[in-house]
Amino acid sequence: MTGSHRVGSTGQGGGVFSLPDLVRGLRDGELTPSAHVEDVLGRLSGDSTNSVIALDAAGARRRAAELTEMSRRGEPAGPLHGVAVGIKDLIDVVGLPTRCGSRILADAPPATADAPIVARLRAAGAVIVGKLHTHEFAYGPLGDAAATGPARNPHDLTRITGGSSSGSAATLAAGHLPLTIGTDTGASVRTPAALCGVVGLKPRRAALPGDGVFPLAESFDTVGLLAPDVASAGLAWDALTGAVGVRDDVRGLRIGVVADDYWRPHDPVLAAAVTAAADALDRAGAEVVAVRTPGVEELAATYPTICGAEAYATHREWFESRREEYQPATRGRLDAQAGTLAHAYVAAQRARRRLGDDLLAHLAARVDLVLTATTRLRATPIGAEEVELPGRGTAAVRESMLALTSPFNLADRPAVSVPVAMPADGLPAGVQIAAVGPDVSPVLSAAAMVEGAV
C-alpha cells in the first residue's frame, strides 16, 4: 500500500486510510483490489485491539480477484470498487455466523443471506472481509462486555473503545480498514467514533436498510457508517444512498451551541473542543448562536424504559432459560427490566413523541444544527464503572458515554461525531453535530469545517 492512500498514524496500523484517495488509486490503477484486500487481511490478522471476530479471507480474495480483472477490462463494479469493508457482528453476512458478541449464539450457523446493507455494499463494489467486535447484543456503550473479551482502544490498549460498534471504530483507528458498518441505538456509532478518533455517522432510522440486523430496540436501531474522516464518510454515504453528503461550505447555516447544564461534559478537554469547533464554524461563515433545549432531561429519561423494555422482549425466553450465559453487565441490565410494566412503556413512548416534537419545534425556529460534545468523558480504563473528577466527586462511565447522543435517537435526527485535533495526552476527543431537520448533508458539511480547522 503506498503512503498516498493513508493519512496520519495511530501506532497500530501504520496510518489511517483515506477513502477518497483509496478509491482514486483503485480507479486509476495505482493499486489493484487484490493488493488492497491482501494488505487489509494482513493487518486484520495482526490486530491487537481484539476487534476481529471472523475473517472471510477466501471469499474476500476471490471477490478481489474478480474485481481486479474487471479493473483490467475498465469495468468498475460501482463507486466502492475494490474497497475492503468490515461489518459489525450484529449484521448478517452470508457464510459467516452472527454471534452478536454472546455465548448465547456461540453455535449460530452461518447466515444464508446478506443483510440488505451488506448487499448494497457489494453492489457498490465493496469487498466484505469479515465481522467485527460488538458489545454483547449491542446493549451497552462501552465495548467491554462480550464473549470474546473487551475491545481495546488502539490509542491506549488499556482503555475502552466505546460501544457497541466497538470493533468498527477500533479497526478504523488502527489503520486496518477504510470503512466499517455499525449500528446506533443510543450511542453505538458515535461514542466509539469519538473515543477512537474517527468519524461516526448516524442517519435517520431506515435511511440505510436495517433488515438482517439483530435488534436491540426497534424504536431506535439505526444502521450507520464509520470512516476515518468526513470526506470518507461522505463518499460512502453517497455511494450507498445516491445522495450528496457534503456541500462546499456552511454559509447560511444556523448552528446552535447548546447552553443547558445537561450538555456539559465532565472532561474540560471536551468542553474546549466544543468551543474550538464553534469558533471554526463561525470563521467558515455559519451563524453560531447559543441555544437551549427545553425538556431534554425529561426526553432523555424515556430512553432507558423504552430501550430496556424492547431489549427484554427480544431476550425474555433466552434470559429465562440461559441467563448465566449472558455477560454480567448484560445480565444486570436485563434483570433490571424484568418488571417493566406495559403502561410504563406506553407512557414513555407517548412522552418521547411529545417531548421530541416540542424540542424539534423549538430548535427549528432558531437553528439548523446543534453542536455538543459527543460524550461527557473520553476513553476510560477497561473495567472502570466510575471515574474520579478532580475536586468534583465521581462520574458514572456508562451514563457519560450515552447521555449526549441518545436524544438524537429519541428524536430520530441525523448526527455525526467528528474528531478534533488530538489532545496532548493522546486520547481522542469528539464533538457531535446533529440536524434539526432530516437531511444528512448539512451535518456532514459542518463536520468537514470542524475537522479541517480544529
- Greatest distance between any 2 Cα atoms in the chain: 66
Residue 406 designated active-site: no
What CA–CA distance (Å, rounded) separates 158 from 140?
Answer: 18
Q: Enter the C-alpha cell of residue 106.
A: 456461540
Q: Say which of 166, 188, 406, 445 is annotated catalytic.
A: 188
What CA–CA distance (Å, rounded) separates 434 from 260?
Answer: 16
Residue 445 designated active-site: no
DSSP-derived letter for residue 55 is E
Cβ–Cβ < 8 Å for 292, 260: yes
Cβ–Cβ < 8 Å for 227, 193: no
Q: Enter the C-alpha cell of residue 380.
A: 476510560
Sequential DSSP letters for 78-97: STTTT-EEEEETTB-BBTBB
Pair type for strands 393-396 and 16-17: unpaired
Burial (CB < 10 A; 0-12, 13-18, 19+), residue 418, is buried
Q: Say which of 88, 165, 219, 445 is annotated catalytic.
A: 88
Residue 188 designated active-site: yes
What CA–CA distance (Å, rounded) separates 404 from 408?
Answer: 8
State phi, psi for 96 to the nearest 5 degrees: -120, 140
Peptide bond into 164 cis (omega under 30): yes
Residue 249: HSE in the Cβ half-sphere, 13 Å Cα cutoff: 8
373 to 80, 119, 266, 370, 438: CA distances (angstroms): 31, 34, 10, 10, 21
Look at residues 199, 238, 143 and name the one whose alpha carbon lies nearest to residue 420. 199
Q: Enter the C-alpha cell of residue 420.
A: 478534533
Q: Say which of 164, 165, 166, 406 is annotated catalytic.
A: 164
What amino acid positions are annotated as catalytic residues? 88, 164, 188
